[in-house]
Structure 1
Amino acid sequence: MKSSELLVVFLFALFSQCVRGKGCVCKLKNSEKPFPAQKLESIHTDASKCNRSISSGQMLEVDVLTLGVQRRLEQLAESVSALEIEDDGDLYGAVSLRVIELEVAEVLELMLKLNRSLGSHQQLSESTSIKLQSMMEDMQELESFDHLHVVRKQLENQRIRRELAECQHELQTTDQPPTAQPGHCPQGQLVDVSGPRIYTLTQHGTSYAYGAWGKDPKPAPGKENEYWLVALTSSNVFANYVRRYSSLSTLLVGVSPVDTVIASGNPTTNTIQGPNVVMYDDALYYNCYNGPYVCRFNMSDQSISNVQLPPNTGFNSKLNFGHLAAAYGYTDLDLSTDESGVWVVYATPENFGNVILSKVAEGIPPSLNQTWQTSLHKRTVTNTFVACGVLYATRYLDKDQEEIFYSFDTETGKESYDLRISIKKMQTNIQSLNYNPEDRKLYVYSDAYILLYDAVFQ
């Protein structure tokens, strides 16, 4: 006899009352609410619809359209250049103009398709986010029926299996190659910057023009795919939290961010000051509020430590980056990452306002290691970054181009002012720029837009 049948017999024997001369009556009272099977079926249906409505092919469609627009624009530029130098009595000039008209029409058509795709993706991400939140709430309600904690135990077992798998993977992982020393770059010398590969607004829209974003070159276990974003949300100067995303795609569509609060407000002690922020080894490095300090915020335990820079180091917009037309406020300190760790760029009156580069030694609290003085005046520079122990500096050419024009090799002490590596801009100003040695890319924050470039080495 099945267990269910035994249960029925038992309940019948327990609750049945036999009245003499009449049939037996069974009274069974269930104090629990009936299980909402219909709601569970609805959740299964919604989940299946989500799986069918979102596919990698949709993101590929955007990439293809973007690439198509880029190539057509390049062809259009070539056609216009050819037309400008033609001198053929207007005969072939008229033909060339007609060709250009057709190319412009094709570009406009591609742009319309791209805009429609981006619009539909935005609507899809918003509706999907709402559905996911609703399904999570419904599942939490259904868990209340799990009196024997079966589901909870299953989830706990899954977590333990994941941890065991991670532990097994760490035991089998081979040792990483030694960290590259300054001046000895395995991939060679930086010779070009291509892109941008990504150009988009953040979840904040155009509200905050100053900020920084990137990916930790030395991430903590389980955070290998995370990206971080810091927008200066107060007067384009201050921020008191860092926003993290589980992947690049969630950052681009602006879903499921996790905010980690660093300070109680803006501005106050330990507030982020200025846009030049980096993440390294699960810690955020930035210019502390109202002082020549490098703050280190530990993302795991949310502790803060700092290191003071040399006396008379510029802070509070005294020794900024800039160019002939403008200065970039509160850029006295610039933090960078490379294969060997974290670096800080600053200036002092004693060095005539020229750039000083120091290595930030890891530790709690952090400390300054070796320091180099350069002949590069900080006010002529718009940004700096470090790759393989070589300091690179950029300058403003015009609203469409920035140029990497300077390098300083910390191994040899050699300076160079004639690099002439062009960076194609999509907005007028670049507020922050940093190199990530893990993926060899430049992460740029430009007038509220985030951009990603490829660093090309010899």
Structure 2
Amino acid sequence: MLSTLFLLLPVISPTLAWIPVQDWGSGNVTSSVGSLGECVCHVYLPDTTFPADRVQHMQQISKDLIQEVQIQMNKIKTYEIKLEIYLGELKKLLDRVTILGSSADDYIKLDFELLRIELREFESLVSQLKDAFNSSSPMFDSLYTEIRNMTLIVNTLESYDKSNLQVIRIEFVKLQKKLEECQKEQEFLKPDIGNCNHTGIMRLSKPMVSQLNSHLQTSYIYGGWGKDSKPAKGSESTYFYSGSSSTLTTQFYFYPDYKHLLLMSTSSSLDIPPSYRGYGNNYIVRGNSIYYQRYSPFSMGKYNLTSKLYDSRVIPTATTAFSYSYSNNQNMDFAADEKGLWVMYASEESKGKLVIAKIDEKGFGIENVWNTAAYKQMTGNAFMACGVMYATRSVDLNTEEIYYSFDTKSGEEKHLNIRFPKFQENYSSLDYNPTDQLLYMYSNGYYVSYHVRFNTA
């Protein structure tokens, strides 16, 4: 921006009299003599216009996305109800066909046109489910093919052939099984919260990327986010976030719900004083308290958001010599699940292998300890679910896998191969939350999460 000030000597502008020329910077002010002998000053002012229009545009896009997600969730609920209704109708239809197979006198009761109408309804339902889930799953394709085959059979069944009737009965059984498989697949989106009556994790969903961190800084590659795993009444929807360009832990932000997290609005913050600051990013919030790795002395740190009090406990065997493979200073990893509060670390005695310790939440001490066979420096991260520790490692740039588990109840360990896609190559934290059965990952500055499906078969 170029502003030209004409000063007719000896008159002096009252504005310029209050602002010394030397304070403007030598590179921003030049002067010359005009054709009439007047003094002409050229002042170059920087363009400091705040891009409010872009911020408003970004907020509007975020609101639109939230509304779209809500619409899609409502669709899923609607299709779930339809699926249950159609499955019940299909069972009734199967009973009718079974009765027909027992008596030739009942053949005339079979309304073929009704069968065709009902099959068209099934076909429409599958198409709607496929569009709603935006999925090209072989299960949907196979179910669609089965329905079309059934329609062809019904069209030829009017020849009153008992063998054909047996064929359609068999096909209805197949179709029923397909719909039941579809229903089970949909139940993946409906977690059985608090239930540990299963044999462990079966698979993870595709990564769900929310957005870049609340600072909108791609350099903030270290951090974590998530929800309170044991929230107080009224705080069930509260989210926390902390991020930095280093592994130093100095500040936390809290948002009343997911919408405010995305819009980066209505937040409260906590600044950790220097004497209680931490290192590492594997912190969690549980019972309205933050659990993190305290820097000095090296110990478990705790801050109670209700009482505003700090506390710490030293674990004598824990060491700073071993960290996860993706970043430094990840020495203590806090976790929470259906069974309580945990911390994982490595020690000289364990020769760098992960140690699981159960934390007494009331006394903030160690209740019990288990040694595992997972080398921490070969592990990307670890988390607890239903009292079982799961350790991850990199397969390639785009793929991670849960390769090891240790059950603290039975002492059983397993070597696993549960692969899941990564959003980016590295991540600094990974925590399971029992309130929604989601894995919360902080991946190079982005909020990422996964649905966890357990094997209940």
Cα distance in 2 for partners of 1:55, 1:346 equals 39
Aligned-pair Cα RMSD in Å = 3.0
- Give structure 2 stretches of 5+ with no counterpart: 1-59, 74-129, 139-192
Hey, what does 1:254 align to over in structure 2?
264
Shift of the 74–431 alpha-carbon distance from structure 1 to 2, 3 Å rule, reads farther
If the length of structure 1 is used for normalisation, what is the TM-score? Answer: 0.58
Q: How far apart are the structure 2 equivalents of 1:222 and 1:349?
A: 43
The aligned runs of 1:169-318 (5 Å cut-off) are 185-205=196-216, 206-231=218-243, 233=244, 235-263=245-273, 268-311=274-317, 313-315=318-320, 318=321
Instruction: Find the aligned partners of 1:203 and 1:402 in 2 and give their Cα distance.
Output: 26
Q: Is the 8 A contact 1:307 1:368 kept in 2?
A: no
TM-score, scaled to structure 2: 0.58
The CA distance in 1 between the partners of 2:136 and 2:446, in whole Å, is 21
Identity %: 32
Give the SS at the match of 1:252: helix
Task: Name the CA distance, whole Å, in 1 between partners of 2:418 and 2:388.
Answer: 15
Q: For 2:131 and 2:212, how far apart are their aligned partners in 1?
A: 21
Q: CA deviation at 1:221?
A: 2.3
Q: Retained in 2: the 8 A contact 1:283–1:297?
A: yes
Aligned mates of 1:383, 1:350 — CA distance in 2: 21
Counterpart check, 1:449 vs 2:446: yes
Bigger-Rg structure (1/2)? 2
* C-alpha separation in 1, matches of 2:251 and 2:233: 22
For residues 65 and 258 of structure 2, the distance between their equivalents in structure 1, rounded to whole angstroms, comes to: 16
- 1:272 Cα offset (Å): 2.3
Offset, 1:65: 9.8
Task: Tell me which amino acid in the other structure corresponds to 1:61.
Answer: E
Q: For 2:132 and 2:396, how far apart are their aligned partners in 1?
A: 23
The aligned residue for residue 339 of structure 1 is 338
Alignment coverage as a number of residue pairs: 286
- One-letter code aligned to 1:443: Y
- Alignment partner, residue 323 of structure 2: 320
Residue 347 of structure 1 and its aligned partner are, at CA, apart by 0.7
Question: Secondary structure in 1 aligned to 2:410?
Answer: coil
Q: Is the 8 A contact 2:62 2:263 kept in 1?
A: no
- CA shift, 1:255, in A, is 1.4
Unpaired runs of 5+ residues, structure 1, are 1-52, 76-178
Within 2, Cα distance between the matches of 1:65 and 1:374?
42
What's the CA shift for 1:230? 1.4
**What residue identity is the alignment partner of 2:251?**
Y
Name the counterpart of 2:421.
424
Q: CA deviation at 1:363?
A: 2.1
The one-letter amino acid paired with 2:348 is P
Q: Distance in 2 between matches of 1:56 and 1:210?
A: 27
Residue 126 of structure 1 corresponds to none
Q: 1:334 to 1:54 in 2, by over 3 A?
A: closer
* 8 Å contact from structure 1 (residues 210, 447) kept in 2: yes
Secondary structure at the counterpart of residue 344 of structure 1: strand
Measure how far apart 1:196 and its partner are.
Answer: 2.0
Contact 1:215 1:436 in 2 (8 A): yes
Task: Report the residue type matching 2:454 in the other structure.
Answer: F
SS of the residue 1:420 aligns to: strand
In 2: Cα distance, 1:297 partner to 1:405 partner:
33
